[in-house]
Amino acid sequence: MGYESMTPIQEQAIPVVLTGQDVMGAAQTGTGKTAAFSLPLLQRLLKHENASTSPARHPVRALVLLPTRELADQVAQQIKQYAVHTQLRSAVVFGGMDMKPQTVELKKGVEVLVATPGRLLDHIEAKNVVLNQVEYVVLDEADRMLDIGFLPDLQRILSHLPKQRTTLLFSATFSPEIKRLAGSYLQNPVTIEVARPNQTASTVTQHFYSVSPDDKYRALQQMVRQSGIKQAFVFCNSKLGCARLARSLERDGFRTTALHGDKSQDERLKALEAFKAGSVDLLICTDVAARGLDIKDVPGVFNFDIPFNVEDYVHRIGRTGRAGASGVAISFVSHSDQRLVVDLEKLLKSKINLEAVEFEEDRPRERINKGRRAWGEDDPRDVLDAPRESREPRESSGRGRGAYAGAPRVAHDPFFDKPYEPSNIGKPVGQVSVEPLRKSSNIKSKRKVAALFKSES
């Protein structure tokens, strides 16, 4: 596969895994953690390889659990390549796809099963897979697997496994809480940290720009064009914001595609393949693409939004600068992100210096439509929905900020424009004359109607 020398995590983890001890491994993303646990596992499973066609001779011996479908598919492909010259079988199961082809493959028997928790539970309940002979369990991206979202499913899966097993945990980030929780699943683990916990890769150059929310879209466009970055990940915090940003960039001439949880698995895989093939320049995505995806030679990452979970920042920028290559990570920080920036400084243990963005001279219509274009509305030329400061005043009125082009005209009474003029100043209280109320020209007098009343005598 072209590997010539071991990375630090591989050099330290492989000998320990070969001894059968539990391992908690922390290393920067992009440093070869998949090979660090896969190669020694396959080596230890060689004693079970056989050429029999009977499914009973190929029970699941190793289980690899991952948080996302894309990462599961990627790891399964790598393990299949590692085991190509052996008789060990491997398979992958994840959601968003039809269960029938996965069931057929499981029924044939596999030694190494790569899975996401939800779909694996579906197969367990359908009795398509039995895990009572599992010898090795691997939690890749262990911090996400042990968080509150995945933990109930993970506990149900572990209840189907033998208690005597080897457990391996690998991730780029480990919070103190996750470390304490992980300790309850491991037996005398060997902790391997080839770099300071939560440290970003030294091959990635990081920049933070102070930008108002209305200017983020314009800043992104300008930096993509000026930086010369051919391909990049662009991360958003929400699925809706991701879809709108992708649509806006595509309308402005960029080759983009979106990747988020609301897309079907087929659409997500096609988006990834298009990005890998180079037919797409910008992959607009949520944190579903932040972990583990290994796409070679991606020169840049843009954080359109600062992640709510600051640990995801380390994983996001790890999509560039992989395998020793250099990369650039650019993040846009607005005034509402100050708390997240403070948390990020604590995580990285370094001060973040915010840089200013120098915009090129605005085009006439861009000043009016920047707010609408940033959110991808259907008609960005609608002036009525443009930002308030960019609306044009009505020609025939100068009566205040509320009168804009296209606003409905209302009847105007000049009486209400006159300043207050008291007419009784200086007169004694008893001599104040009471004048009849003046009628406004807009108040019509009632029409006189004749009536005939009948009286009873």
Highest mean pLDDT among 120-129, 182-191, 349-358: 120-129
Other Cβ atoms less than 10 A from the Cβ of 89: the count is: 18
377 or 69: which carries more pLDDT confidence? 69
For residues 220 and 373, the answer to whether their CB atoms sit within 8 Å is no
Q: Which amino acid appears at position 209 of this protein?
A: Y
**What is the full DSSP assignment across 85-139?**
TSS--EEEE-TTS-HHHHHHHHHH--SEEEE-HHHHHHHHHTT----TT--EEEE
For residues 307 and 287, the answer to whether their CB atoms sit within 8 Å is yes
Residue-level pLDDT at 197: 58
205 Cβ partners below 8 Å, 6+ apart?
Answer: 326, 327, 328, 329
How confident is the model over 184-209, as pLDDT tens digits? 788 888 888 876 655 666 778 899 99
Residue-level pLDDT at 151: 85
Residue-level pLDDT at 186: 86
How confident is the model over 220-238, as pLDDT tens digits? 999 998 887 888 999 999 9
Residue-level pLDDT at 196: 60
Cα dihedral 146→147→150→153 (10° resolution): 60
Average pLDDT of 67-91? 91
How confident is the model over 269-296, as pLDDT tens digits? 888 888 988 888 999 998 887 776 777 7
Read off φ and ψ for residue 208, nearest 5 degrees.
Answer: -120, 125
Cα dihedral 403→404→409→414 (10° resolution): 30
Average pLDDT of 344-358? 86
What's CA 113's distance to the chain center, in Å? Answer: 27
Q: How far apart are CA 299 and CA 326, in angstroms?
A: 7
Q: How far is CA 160 from CA 121, 152, 183, 188, 457, in A?
A: 10, 13, 19, 22, 103
251-260, 286-295, 398-407, 447-456: which range is least confident on average?
398-407
How confident is the model over 312-324, as pLDDT tens digits? 888 888 878 776 6
How confident is the model over 404-416, as pLDDT tens digits? 344 445 555 676 6
Residue-level pLDDT at 210: 92
pLDDT at 441 over 80: no
What's CA 173's distance to the chain center, in Å? Answer: 17
Domains of the chain: 8-193 (3.40.50.300), 204-375 (3.40.50.300)
How confident is the model over 126-168, as pLDDT tens digits? 999 999 999 999 998 887 777 767 888 988 999 999 989 999 9
Strand runs labelled E in 291-412: 300-303, 327-333, 354-356
Q: Assign 378 a pLDDT band (cuts: 50, 70, 90).
A: very low
- Across the chain, mean pLDDT equals 80
64-73, 74-83, 205-214, 420-429: which range is least confident on average?
420-429
Q: Assign 445 a pLDDT band (cuts: 50, 70, 90).
A: low
Residue-level pLDDT at 422: 62
Residue-level pLDDT at 235: 93
Average pLDDT of 392-403? 41
